[in-house]
Amino acid sequence: MDPLSFAKFPFLRDAVEYVKDQGVTLEDLLTHQAYQLARARGKARVIDALEHGVIQLRPMATEGDRLEEILSYPVARIFVSGVNERFLTKRYALAEAVTMYERLEREELDVVEEVAYQLDVAASRHDESLRMHFSDYLRYTSRLRSKDWKLVNTEVKGGYVSLPQLRFARVLQQALQDKLESELPLPVDEAILQPLQSDIRELKERTAIMREQYKAEDFGAVSVDNFPPCMKHFIGMAQAGENLPHSARFALVSFLHHIGLSSDEILNLFAVSPDFDASKTRYQIDHITGESSGVEYTPPECTTMKSYGNCVEPDSLCNNPKTKVKHPLTYYRIKNRPMKAPKGGPSSRSSVPSGQR
């Protein structure tokens, strides 16, 4: 592959070797005036991921442009590691993966195959499509919610799954996202972070602002602070752009519906998911809430949540034998009970949606 390909896909192992061949040291990259633009591009890369969910395209007409783009990638990883916030890490990993997917849409199959190889995905050409070993296919599609991704709905020959280019690239998107999430944050020490401190402080502030914007605190009268830990966790996943397992999505939608959220508010929650499809999501929500199915589903009980691995970080209320919390809605109602007022004084209520008092 050539330098332009490395600039498009800077996460490739061959891109790392290319940088080494250019004689660029880590110290030079972080401090030398010659690489100031690469550092600025690395910072912009993180901001793009945080605020836009995709890495914006930059001109790469010259050799210098391409090297700058390649070098911006390790700088961006250092910035993300310096901030060390889970929200930013996940946003960054998703944005890099989505960017790769969009670029692979327009590449020759040979390039797509090479990217797969360097992501350790067992792939090969087959006529005008690409094949992936079924074990890799299962590994990277397990969190894709559409039934179309189920192995039983694909053709498997000799242990390989044949896919058209776009679907193959979508699986690689998940592979890169998983790879970056497993690698970040990097174990960076103070000597590495010191030259970037002012930029890291700015990125921390931007991350805090974005995290606040993504919090589900604008759900009218609904108090997110009173959600059970499992539902807080699912909301965090959804708003960080992660695909929820079907069982978790069902539990969250039915929970939010029963505490008073409208279908539009629930739909907006999933709008940042990487595979967001408004019509399909609306159909699923309307089915769960009874708008289209005629059956208004309730969230699963805690025992069912546990059996699906959806009971996340239970707190003291979950585990309190006196309260006997057996259902996410029970948890929420207990949390929203009126506070006992002092004798002779008015009572104090938490903010609760209509129908939940």
The predicted structure's pLDDT at residue 343 = 47
- Closest by CA to 53, choosing from 96, 101, 8, is 96
347: confidence class by pLDDT, cuts 50, 70, 90? very low
Whole-number Å distance between alpha carbons of 178 and 88? 14
Which residues on adjacent β-strands are paired with residue 129? 126
Residue 235 has pLDDT above 70, yes or no: yes
Mean pLDDT of 337-349: 48
Which residues on adjacent β-strands are paired with residue 339? 348
Backbone angles phi, psi at 22, to 5 degrees: -80, -5
Fill in the amino acid letter for 242.
E
In 3-state terms, what secondary structure has residue 344? coil
Whole-number Å distance between alpha carbons of 68 and 151? 41
272: confidence class by pLDDT, cuts 50, 70, 90? confident
Residue keyed to tokens 């190889």: 117
CA separation, residue 349 to residues 51, 188, 228, 299, 336 (Å)? 36, 47, 19, 25, 8
Q: Where are the domains of the chain?
A: 3-196, 224-335
Whole-number Å distance between alpha carbons of 99 and 102? 5
Contacts of 226 (CB under 8 A, 6+ apart): 332, 335, 336, 350
Whole-number Å distance between alpha carbons of 93 and 97? 6
How much of the chain exceeds pLDDT 90, in percent?
Answer: 55
352: confidence class by pLDDT, cuts 50, 70, 90? very low
Whole-number Å distance between alpha carbons of 98 and 172? 10
Mean pLDDT of 215-240: 75
Whole-number Å distance between alpha carbons of 289 and 285? 6
Query: Checking DSSP bridges between strand 156-157 and strand 160-163, what pairing results, if any?
Result: antiparallel
| pTM score over 0.95 | no
In 3-state terms, what secondary structure has residue 319? coil
- Closest by CA to 13, choosing from 100, 101, 114, 93, is 114
Start-end of H helices in the chain:
3-8, 13-21, 26-31, 36-52, 63-83, 86-104, 109-118, 134-141, 165-183, 190-193, 197-214, 229-239, 246-258, 263-269, 278-289, 302-307, 328-335
Mean pLDDT of 36-48: 97
- CATH code for the domain defined by 3-196: 1.20.930
The two tokens of residue 316 are 């003291």
What DSSP letter does each residue of 140-176 carry, written as one string? HHTT--SGGGSGGGS-EETTEEEE-HHHHHHHHHHHH
Angle between helices 36-52 and 63-83 (to 10 degrees): 60
Mean pLDDT of 340-349: 44
- Closest by CA to 41, choosing from 83, 77, 16, is 77
Q: State the number of CA atoms in the 13 A half-sphere of 54 facing the CB.
A: 13
Residue 224 has pLDDT above 90, yes or no: no
Residue 132 has pLDDT above 90, yes or no: yes
- If one counts every other C-beta atom within 10 angstroms of the C-beta of residue 160, the result is 19
CA separation, residue 198 to residues 25, 187, 204 (Å)? 22, 19, 10
